[in-house]
Structure 1
Amino acid sequence: MNTSVSDRTEAGAAAPAAAVATAPAQPDAAAWPDVARGPHASALRTAATRSIVQRALGALPLRVLYGDAPVTGVEGPLLRVHDPAAFFGRIGADGLIGFGESYMAGEWDADDLVGVLTVLASRLTSLVPRPLQWLRGVWARRRPGAQRNTLDGARQNIHRHYDLSNDLFSLFLDRSMTYSSAVFRKRPAEWDALPDAQHRKIDRLLDLAGVGEGTRLLEIGTGWGELALRAAARGARVVSVTLSQEQRDLAVERIARAGHADRVSVELCDYRQVTGVYDAVVSVEMIEAVGAEYWPVYFEALARLVAPGGRIALQAITMPDARMRATRSTYTWIHKYIFPGGIVPSVEAVERCAAAAGLRVRENDGYGGHYAETLRLWRERFTARSAEVAALGFDPVFRRMWEFYLAYSEAGFRAGYLDVRQLLLTPAAPTKDGERR
């Protein structure tokens, strides 16, 4: 399988956009039990949800078509609700999880899915009138204990996403097999600019960490090995750790093929179990998988592993601190279907946890608009290659789920609800009185 991955990332790059996966005639109940069973809210709750949701959507720059009724609204992208009873029933039972499952079931669609989701993301905190916001507790679920990022739990959470299939990821990632935000020279970006933009992102991080000839570099979160390859090409000696067997297998193969096996070691290892001391530590969009409960442990590990005078470069997706605090215990559609156990931190949370571990944030650069463009390119390529995704064995529900995930994420960055930051951390220097600053 792995020998086909690099070929897949280039073939068909200019293929025309295709329609999203058609609605499943009947979702597989074994694979998708909550999608297959349909809405399960009471008639009273469904009616109340209908009233609240219609009122909320009516106040937005959206046009909405409920079944055969006339279109409501006069401007904005069009949201088509094919089955209003099921749509309101799912939201009434499960809130935003139900909203996503309704899309997976084909009960609603949009010609401009990102446009619809961007409008919603831009007004996420005000969709429900303030006097009714106490109802959020009716829908919001707490995260299941099984998704806690214990040593065993973290392996299972990573396995559920990153071990889906290397061939699946190769269908929508570029030839660098880099699954994080690129940095473009200009926007909007085109597909053929993506590999260079990914290398630009990696090189900025390596520069931030001061990686060069002879640097002892620790990478936490291997991906498919591109950062380790570029660090080795600079003359660094790299230890890279991951919990994904699929990613490790391909990374090892790519590193050997590039002639850097003597400089790079890729290990199946949790960051909490890493030993040694390194001149530099780099971690790209891995903190989102750590879980708020373990952020102090993560930063303590960084502080323990970096040498005095060393540098730590992180790339992290972030959200506003108030929103993070309000939702940090909530179980969402993303947790259920895409990233179990994850939580996006705020910059303030990073600063608080870093300071407690004796680290200081020295540089902090954001470029959320670049992530929106990265996600657009991935989403367009994913939909254009839908038939190839199906040939790998992924059914229509999965394909609609994945397209919704990519669009949902893109919308978050376009709305400014999400950002992505590159941060430099260093050990705080001790003062005469023993404090660090």
Structure 2
Amino acid sequence: MSIQSHVTARPSTSWPDVEHVPTGTRATIAAALADRLFRRAVRTLPIRVEYPDGTVLGRGGADAPRLILHRPADFTARLGVGGLIGFGESYMAGDWSSPDPAATLTVFAARIDRLVPAPLRALRRLYVSKHPATEHNSESNSRSNIARHYDLSNNLFELFLDETLTYSSALFPATAPPPRWADLAAAQQAKIDRILDRAGVGPGTRLLEIGTGWGELALRAAARGASVRSVTLSTEQRALALDRIAAAGLSERVTIDLLDYRRVTGEFDAVVSVEMIEAVGYEYLDTFFETIDRVLAPGGRAVIQAITMPHHRMRATRDTYTWVHKYIFPGGFLPSTRLLADVAARRTELVVREQLSMGEHYAHTLRLWQQRFNARADRVAELGFDPIFRRMWRLYLAHAEAGFRCGYLDVHQILLTRAA
């Protein structure tokens, strides 16, 4: 099915923090310190950092991940002034590159707690940026936060997702080793089917979906005979999802509302939400679980698929404004499974009954997305997305893969029911 309708490419044409290298006394001092710390850190890593003058740092051999510095002075200036945000912006600017950014970033992510000396880590709160108030996930801000990512262009997402247009971790067969995980569409459908099975969705089920995506879960639930209400804040996703549902002849079974989850009313036998909780925000997790508890019928089941972090890392970074927040997911927050269970128990009658860890599956999903995106870079350009955007998107996918590869990130399917 073509998705040319409902599409307006919205590439950025102004990148002030990428196009301009920090200058001045502060930047000079910060760059010198950053250069010293960076060189100190990479000397012991299984990586090759290659400088224009032929200098190579790191303990990696010929087959090790490579970070190629094209403009070392600009790189250290951005890193010194902007920290990890500057590190990402330096890639967007072309100050450094890598044949395999995910492999390179995995080396750093696996040692994130040791890259900066302990005395400087203790001062973290003094120099990291805070989240802008305009990106907190209040009802007034959430729609714009969602639009900045999900309403970029349906065509863009079509270029690297599979035909199900599913933008979350797939679940590959347990009987096949990861190198043979090639059928992404089947793995996405397997993931959805497992969620629907755990939620007990079948003929006559009244199902609420929080976060529509492009409609694949609603389609599969309706095909089982369920009555589906799905809510989303993305106008582009809703338009295409409605088209797909109509084309499947399931419009009488599915309603998709452009509505904040906090505004949902009614009673449902099952509630599902796939990788939407990351857009809820720490301050609103109570409200999210209270909403599920309020609309879930007696004996109902809720299943959430959530990207998670280890609890200690979540606590350490909860208030940090990152490159991902600035350029990819404004207002995003990754919880720990412990936090989700604690909030549910404290604010509702919901209890976690089952958890499935799928981090390895997400790493492979992201690898397949990157392969498709890179292979279709010319078509991304034809949509109007400039070179800085294309480098940004490559880094985003690689950054995410690295997190799952090294265990810094995980993804869980979580089943909740009310306490007996």
Class of the TM-score when normalised by the shorter of the 2 chains: over 0.9
Question: Which one of the candidate residues 15, 30, 40 is aligned to 1:45?
Answer: 30
Is 1:54 the counterpart of 2:39? The answer is yes
Deviation readout 1:314-361 (Å, 9 max, x if unpaired): 100100001001111110000000000011110001001111222100
CA contact (8 A) 2:12 2:389 kept: no
Distance 1:105 1:222 in 2: 34
- SS of the residue corresponding to residue 224 of structure 1 reads coil
Deviation readout 1:82-103 (Å, 9 max, x if unpaired): 1111111101101000000000
Cα displacement (A) at 1:112 = 1.9
- SS of the residue corresponding to residue 341 of structure 1 reads coil
Paired-residue identity, %: 58
CA contact (8 A) 1:29 1:37 kept: no
CA contact (8 A) 1:187 1:370 kept: no
Distance 1:117 1:191 in 2: 22
Deviation readout 1:194-215 (Å, 9 max, x if unpaired): 1100000000000000000000
Cα displacement (A) at 1:152 = 1.6
State the partner residue of 1:243.
Answer: 233
Distance 2:381 2:194 in 1: 36
1:342-381 aligned within 5 A: 342-356=332-346, 357-381=348-372
State the partner residue of 1:120.
Answer: 108
- SS of the residue corresponding to residue 330 of structure 1 reads coil
Distance 1:176 1:128 in 2: 42
1:173-322 aligned within 5 A: 173-185=161-173, 186-188=176-178, 193-322=183-312
Cα displacement (A) at 1:136 = 2.8
Is 1:91 the counterpart of 2:79? The answer is yes
User: Does the C-alpha gap of structure 1 residues 157 and 43 become closer, same or farther in structure 2, counting only changes over 3 Å?
Assistant: same
Distance 2:177 2:220 in 1: 25
Distance 1:119 1:187 in 2: 23
Deviation readout 1:271-293 (Å, 9 max, x if unpaired): 00000010000000000000000
CA contact (8 A) 2:13 2:386 kept: no
Distance 1:108 1:386 in 2: 19
User: Does the C-alpha gap of structure 1 residues 216 and 251 become closer, same or farther in structure 2, counting only changes over 3 Å?
Assistant: same
- SS of the residue corresponding to residue 168 of structure 2 reads coil
1:9-158 aligned within 5 A: 31-40=14-23, 41-75=26-60, 76-158=64-146
Q: Which has the larger displacement, 63-72 or 300-309?
A: 63-72
Cα displacement (A) at 1:263 = 0.2
Distance 1:87 1:191 in 2: 37
- SS of the residue corresponding to residue 366 of structure 2 reads helix
Cα displacement (A) at 1:367 = 1.2
Is 1:394 the counterpart of 2:399? The answer is no
State the partner residue of 1:434.
Answer: none
Q: TM-score, normalised by structure 2?
A: 0.94
Distance 1:49 1:103 in 2: 16
Cα displacement (A) at 1:42 = 2.3
Q: What is the identity, as a one-letter code, of the residue corresponding to 1:34?
A: D
Deviation readout 1:231-250 (Å, 9 max, x if unpaired): 00000000000000000000
CA contact (8 A) 1:80 1:108 kept: yes
User: Does the C-alpha gap of structure 1 residues 189 and 221 become closer, same or farther in structure 2, counting only changes over 3 Å?
Assistant: farther
Cα displacement (A) at 1:135 = 4.2
Cα displacement (A) at 1:30 = 5.4
Distance 2:283 2:193 in 1: 31
Distance 1:84 1:29 in 2: 26
Cα displacement (A) at 1:138 = 4.7
Distance 1:263 1:50 in 2: 59
Q: What is the identity, as a one-letter code, of the residue corresponding to 1:365?
A: L
Distance 1:189 1:291 in 2: 35
CA contact (8 A) 1:191 1:377 kept: no
Distance 1:165 1:74 in 2: 42
State the partner residue of 1:17.
Answer: none
Distance 1:190 1:268 in 2: 39
Q: What is the identity, as a one-letter code, of the residue corresponding to 1:371?
A: Y
User: Does the C-alpha gap of structure 1 residues 139 and 108 become closer, same or farther in structure 2, counting only changes over 3 Å?
Assistant: farther
CA contact (8 A) 1:2 1:166 kept: no
- SS of the residue corresponding to residue 353 of structure 1 reads helix
User: Does the C-alpha gap of structure 1 residues 189 and 283 become closer, same or farther in structure 2, counting only changes over 3 Å?
Assistant: farther
Distance 1:42 1:417 in 2: 30
Distance 2:383 2:226 in 1: 37
- SS of the residue corresponding to residue 102 of structure 2 reads helix
Distance 2:49 2:396 in 1: 21
Deviation readout 1:81-133 (Å, 9 max, x if unpaired): 11111111101101000000000000001112111100001011111121332
CA contact (8 A) 2:199 2:302 kept: yes
Distance 2:405 2:355 in 1: 20
- 5+ long unaligned stretches in structure 2: 6-10
Distance 2:220 2:194 in 1: 11
Is 1:406 the counterpart of 2:406? The answer is no
